[in-house]
Structure 1
Amino acid sequence: MRKTFVFIAVNGNISSNCSDFHTSSWRNILQRLDLSVQFMLLTRRNPDCAQPVNNNSDIENSNFNTSLPTKLIMHGYRMMGSKPSWADTMAQELLRAMDVNVIVVDWIIGSTALYHNAVQNSALLGLKASILIKNLISRGSTEKSFHLIGISLGAHVAGFVGRMLNGKLGQITGLDPAGPKFSKASVDERLDPSDALFVEAIHSDSDHFGISRPVGHIDFYLNGGQDQPGCSRPFSSSVYKYLICDHTRAIYLYISSIKHHCPLVGFPCQTYEHFRSGGCIECNNHSLQSCPRIGLLERAGLSADEQPKEVKVYLMTSSDSPFCVKHFLVEIFFKQLGPYDQSIELTFLSSNRSNISHLHLTIPNKESNERTLRKVIPYARFGNMDAITIEQLSSWRRKRYEIHIEKLRVSELPLNDRERPPSCIHNIVIDKKAFFAMFASCL
């Protein structure tokens, strides 16, 4: 085992008295070392040099301020035994955004190599973290002032801690809570809404490393919670980064939500498919009475009138930071259909004619009862949707017929925002040539 005492500052300054993460290896595991948990404090008085707060003496000699909120960050399973690459960035962005105590938890030794061993060690980590928090509360901090941010396996550890504090901690944020060993676990063995006054989870890899079921008061599912845009490029990075790209997207999106101000709004809905088909497009016609947002918001921006539980909300994102997009409802009203199903490609354009979004649709045949298609699409927040091209896709098996559209309407979500009227294109005829038109008022 090798322990370093250098915390690399964002501005390049280095102090030999600063704490940093342990490193681990398979040799450490074979030697059955203890967890070697350490708690490292960063504040605006020491933003670049972490202070240990492992015991009473450490706390007394630190900059911990009981009158400030406390953010406690817990990483998850570490296959390679290395320091999380995102840890410094998250801590620094939290300090820039708020005057808070940031405590970074290092349990690299107990979380490395064998996953099932890390799962077993997580209960002991939860106990150690709860002892620290109780100690800080005894010194004047309030239970409500604590916000635990748990990543993957660390999200369930945060749940253990919250349970040991009788669910009275202020908030827990689970960033793609781990799925393996937890998908079928009882509420006492995983993150659950009862673990804090408010529990939120952001799901980005629910079909592999993350859990699919809701585990909070509000559960955000990014792009359905599974495949993330920009993560299907295995040759653009290492195989390891490719494999965990979906899983870590929740982390980088959350960091981006702290740094940037563009809203990441989730729409309550039963399924992602129902959301994509335009079934959940308003923010005031469900029990929440508003749409929750990702970021440093109290209760995700919801009012305190009614406490939700395991509410699924869906949103789309872009492939790069700041990840936020606008959501648009596309409605196509058909005037005449052909004898066969046909496919079209819609490309939405900005004022400078750059692509904002694409939509591939199958147009029903004249025997179908469908005369309207509805789809929700994302588009970049920094562009305006001004025009569209529609191309009829070829099929070597069937003759192409003209497609007659009475009206194509696009509306920015949520629909109940009357300050953003919809835009329309009327009387569209699509044949072998690509159709192009500018959007105009629907009046």
Structure 2
Amino acid sequence: MTLVHSQSVKNQISLRFKNITLLLDNPEFDLQKPTVFYIHGYVEIASDASVLCVMDAYVKRGDYNILVLDWANLAFGNYLNVVVNIKKVGKESGKALGKLLKNGLSVEGLHLVGHSAGAHVAAVVARVLKKNNFTVPRLTGLDPAYPGFYPAIDTPPIGSKDAVFVDIIHTDSGKYGTPFSTGHADFWPNDGKSTQPGCPPVTLILTNENFCSHWRSWQYWAESVTGGSFVARKCTNYNAFLKGNCSETAHMGLLAKPELRGNFYLRTAANEPFALGETGFI
């Protein structure tokens, strides 16, 4: 597990689970701040752009403790083996967080955020904590992985029962990401499918270009953390959204309110900044 320095993502402190309570004595860890626990996805490492982008966004905000789960040693190789590893990774991570909660960390400010397979790891973490009487207030899935979870090979996928508020951002539904509504609030930018605006329409499998739409989920999330305004409308489907047959508006990303329920649609720009504000739902 990695604690990110409040001033720069270049300054990180790594701790093994067996020594996790040392985190509470670290001057960079402020018990008065909420804590975000970020979990990367398949074939990713903690120094990848996806993780650094999200970490940097929280550093810029300055009002969160930032913890990152580095499970790269179990996130590579045969995908089916990785899917089976998720339950083990989630259980051990949940036990570690449980130690922190029992020794002074406030559960009220805890926010679990997972990308792709990491979303399902985060769900297991939340379940472990719930068994120990710690209910996670918010769990966010960034394009939760589809293959191996619908139907589930080993671990049930992320769902609305896992935390008080579960919000999902879909960007590659039906391919790398799930096409199903699984949270209290599910956001579908550009219908939640590939090809997301700005991504190449034709790609080779398992290349950076091929992951473009899948990766948009953490890019949108990071931008929302630093103030990007992703305004969506609650609607029955994307066609109804395009026709303007929707009413209720909501923010996708960090500002999503816990009382939200249903499916929400919006448009984004093809390049950064991706957020279109109120023009994204017209």
What letter is aligned with 1:313?
F
Superposition deviation, residue 65 in structure 1: 2.6
Paired residues of 2:21 and 2:99 also in contact (CA < 8 A): no
Unaligned runs of 5+ in 2: none
Q: Distance between the aligned counterparts of 1:173 and 1:96, measured in 2?
A: 20
Structure with the larger helix share: 2
Cα offset for 1:56?
A: 4.3
Amino acid at match of 2:140: T
Distance 1:274 1:46, change over 3 A: closer
Equivalent AA in structure 1 for residue 199 of structure 2: C
Does structure 2 conserve the Cα–Cα contact (< 8 Å) formed by 1:203 and 1:225?
A: yes
> Are residues 1:229 and 2:197 paired?
yes
Paired position in structure 1 for 2:236: 270
2:43 equivalent in structure 1: 78
Does the Cα contact within 8 Å between 1:316 and 1:327 map onto a contact in 2? Answer: no
The equivalent of 1:51 in structure 2 is 13
Deviations 1:95-120 (A, max 9, x none): 22132211111111101021111111
User: CA-atom RMSD, angstroms?
Assistant: 2.6
1:294 aligns with 2:252: yes
Quick one: which of 262, 271, 275 aligns to 1:324?
275
Q: Given that residues 257 and 322 in structure 1 are in contact (C-alpha distance below 8 angstroms), is that contact kept between their aligned partners in structure 2?
A: no
3-state SS in 2 of match to 1:172: strand
Mapping for residues 346-385 of structure 1, pairs under 5 Å: none
User: 1:133 offset after TM fit, Å?
Assistant: 1.0
Residue deviations 1:183-228 (CA, integer Å, cap 9, x gap)? 2339x71101111111101000002100011111100011111121
Distance 1:56 1:158, change over 3 A: closer
Rounded Cα–Cα distance in structure 1 between residues aligned with 2:167 and 2:63: 22
How far, CA to CA, are the matches of 2:278 and 2:57 in structure 1? 27
Q: Say which of 215, 226, 229 aligns to 1:259.
A: 226
What is the TM-score normalised by the length of structure 1? 0.57
> How far apart are residue 132 of structure 1 and its match?
1.4
Distance 1:184 1:57, change over 3 A: closer
Q: Is the 8 A contact 2:8 2:56 kept in 1?
A: no
Note the alpha carbon deviations across 1:223-260, whole angstroms, 9 max, x for none: 1111211113558x997122111111111111112224
* Residue 40 in structure 1 maps to residue 2 in structure 2: yes
Give the 4+ runs in structure 1 shifted more than 4 A: none
Q: Give unpaired runs (5+ residues) of structure 1.
A: 1-38, 284-290, 329-377, 379-411, 414-443
Counterparts of 2:222 and 2:46 in 1: how far apart (Å)? 20
Deviations 1:338-372 (A, max 9, x none): xxxxxxxxxxxxxxxxxxxxxxxxxxxxxxxxxxx
Corresponding residue SS for 1:200: strand
Q: Which whole-Å CA distance do the structure 1 matches of 2:121 and 2:12 have between them?
A: 22
Structure 1 distance, partners of 2:106, 2:227, is 29
1:326 to partner: Cα distance: 5.5
Q: Please give the residue correspondences for 1:6-21 in structure 2 after superposition, counting only pairs within 5 Å.
A: none
Higher relative contact order (CA 8 A, sep 6+): 2
1:124 aligned partner: 88
Q: CA deviation at 1:59?
A: 2.4
The answer to whether structure 1 residue 312 and structure 2 residue 279 are counterparts is no
With structure 2 as the length reference, what TM-score do the two structures score?
0.88
CA 226–57 in structure 1, closer or farther in 2 if over 3 Å, else same: closer
Aligned residue number for residue 33 of structure 2: 68
Matched, 1:169 2:136: yes
Whole-angstrom CA distance in 1 between matches of 2:42 and 2:68: 15
Partner of 1:417: none
**Using a 3 Å threshold, how does the CA distance of structure 1 residues 238 and 158 change in structure 2: closer, same or farther?**
closer
Match of 1:95? 59
Tell me how many residue pairs correspond in the alignment.
Answer: 275
What code does the residue aligned with 2:174 have?
Answer: D
Match in the other structure for 2:73? 109
Look up the match of 1:341. Answer: none
Question: Alpha-carbon deviation of 1:128?
Answer: 1.4
Q: CA deviation at 1:47?
A: 4.9
**Inter-CA distance 239–143: structure 2 relative to 1 (3 Å threshold):** closer
- Any conservation in 2 of the 1:183–1:213 contact (CA below 8 Å)? no
| Partner Cα distance (1:220, 1:241) in 2 | 23
